[in-house]
Chain A
Amino acid sequence: DTAVSQTPKYLVTQMGNDKSIKCEQNLGHDTMYWYKQDSKKFLKIMFSYNNKELIINETVPNRFSPKSPDKAHLNLHINSLELGDSAVYFCASSQGQGHLQETQYFGPGTRLLVL
């Protein structure tokens, strides 16, 4: 009965490959997020979706494309992976529309290593 789940947990791949990370939440939340945590533990938001609609798109390379098939899922596809994409990617969700910045519930993270 995991609240926010991500797959895979670990992802090791070669530069130039395309990969996807999946996220699902069973909390009934309306808003979902993708964050990137670098090696210095700095956590930065990448995208947020509310009811399948894109709300936030930070200055992220367009090689990163989020897709929300329904409000319980937010997947992240990354094209042409680069060494600098190596990081831990976290999915999160929250109730409401996101504009009140409610409590967020995080998934366990996907550790991406690009070789």
Chain B
Amino acid sequence: SQQGEEDPQALSIQEGENATMNCSYKTSINNLQWYRQNSGRGLVHLILIRSNEREKHSGRLRVTLDTSKKSSSLLITASRAADTASYFCATAVWGAQKLVFGQGTRLTINP
């Protein structure tokens, strides 16, 4: 199985609701990053949280990191149709010199 695994694989909610996506990983990390990919486009960096941080905010995004449980969550508040995309977590494993991506959560916001 992969280093980063997102849950759920797909999520469909109504506009205005909050969306929560989770990511679990297996080995010690330097940092964990969340990216968004709109259909047919490249990935766009959303937020980076370091291993010594527990929570980070950016606009309507809130990311938490629990290194004891090796898990992270991404919360998007007051969702908008434009938030429809796939969301990936990427773990920066110590000494690996690379990011390891999960398979993503496909988020659909219904108007």
Contacts and interface: CB of A to CB of B under 8 A. Distances in A.
B84 interface: no
B42 A107 contact: yes
Interface in B80-99: 86, 88, 92-93, 95-99
Main secondary structure of the interface of B (DSSP, over half): strand
A103 B41 contact: no
Contacts of A45: 98-100
Residue among B43, B45, B93, B100 having the largest count of chain A Cβ atoms under 10 Å: B43
Interface residues of A, number: 25
Contacts of B40: 109
A66 interface: no
A89 B99 CA distance: 16
Contacts of B96: 101
A49 B99 CA distance: 14
Interface of A: 4, 33, 35, 40-45, 48, 55-56, 90, 92, 98-101, 103-109
Given A92-B43, A101-B30, 4 more contacts: A43-B88, A90-B43, A98-B98, A106-B44
